[in-house]
Amino acid sequence: MMKRTVLINPFFEHLRPFVESIPQRFEVEGETIYTGRNLIKVFEEQGIRINVKRYRTPFFINRVIYSYFRPSKGWRAYSYPKRLMEAGVTTPEPIAYIEEKHNGLLGISYFISIQKPHARNFYEFGTANVIENKEVIEAFGRFSARLHESGIYHRDYSPGNILFDKINGQWDFCLVDINRMNFGAVSINKGCANFARLWGQTDFFLVLARSYAEARGYNEEQCRNRILKYRRRFWKQYRLKHEVRFPIDI
């Protein structure tokens, strides 16, 4: 027996008919912007660009865990933005969450949010000219410091999950795929380790470390050494595990 639960942000109650139609429309409508473990499409409704992420049915053990012991990825993606936005951190506003359960176990689920206008992500820093991008890198260092000082730690702080653009003359950073978050004090070690997944030349991280350390009142040399140490460790393990190379300077 299948049971479908629909949760809608009260601010977007006027979109309820659209939200409730998603399970029927998703396969045949919308503009696909990402395919992978999950599928992401963008829809246009009432003049609003809406992002719909469909989470596939988890493997059996995770179906049990997410059904009875832990909140699902979609539920976390729906509930965490409030914490970020209260801290002044840009993230897509949640519209709704839909989950389907079959005989009590989680099946397909959907996270529905506002499609943000940010057109760039951090993959471009894999080979970017650091001097030409110094301003945005420094701004990102300050943003990350503010994020950590607010007790917010994105456990998947990776290139595709950090969008950015210049909005109203200022660099603005938008965090996506935020279902993996920790909330609480972020130490210097933990903060510096958070940059390990990013791509970029060594000079990128030198600029980043300087800006981050200054914003948090840390020793620049210690911060720089820790950031470089953690990223070397992460990418060494990643390459050994996946037997691949990336366009980054390690």
For the residues 210-216, what does the mean pLDDT come to?
Answer: 98
Per-residue confidence (pLDDT) for residue 23, from 0 to 100:
96
pLDDT digits (tens, 9 = 90+) for 106-135: 999 999 999 999 999 999 998 889 999 999
With CA atoms as reference, report the closest residue to 6 among 78, 114, 103, 85: 78
Q: Is 97 helix (H, G, I), strand (E, B) or coil?
A: strand
Q: How many domains does the chain have?
A: 2
Q: Are 107 and 124 in the same domain?
A: no
Last residue of a domain, one of 66, 83, 114: 114
Q: What is the residue range of 211's domain?
A: 120-242
Q: Are 95 and 137 in the same domain?
A: no
The span from the CA of 246 to the CA of 250, in Å, is 10
Q: What is the CATH number of the domain that holds 145?
A: 1.10.510
Q: Are 36 and 87 in the same domain?
A: yes
- Its pTM stands at 0.90
With CA atoms as reference, report the closest residue to 15 among 41, 39, 47: 47
Q: Supply 236's token pair.
A: 């060494």
Q: Is 237 helix (H, G, I), strand (E, B) or coil?
A: helix
CA 154, chain centre distance (Å) = 7
Q: Please, which pLDDT band fits residue 238 given cuts at 50, 70 and 90?
A: confident
Q: Are 100 and 150 in the same domain?
A: no
Answer whether residue 38 is part of any domain.
yes
Contact yes or no for 158/151 (Cβ under 8 A): no
Q: What is the CATH number of the domain that holds 85?
A: 3.30.200
pLDDT digits (tens, 9 = 90+) for 20-72: 999 999 999 999 999 988 999 999 999 999 999 999 998 889 898 988 889 99
Contact yes or no for 196/230 (Cβ under 8 A): yes
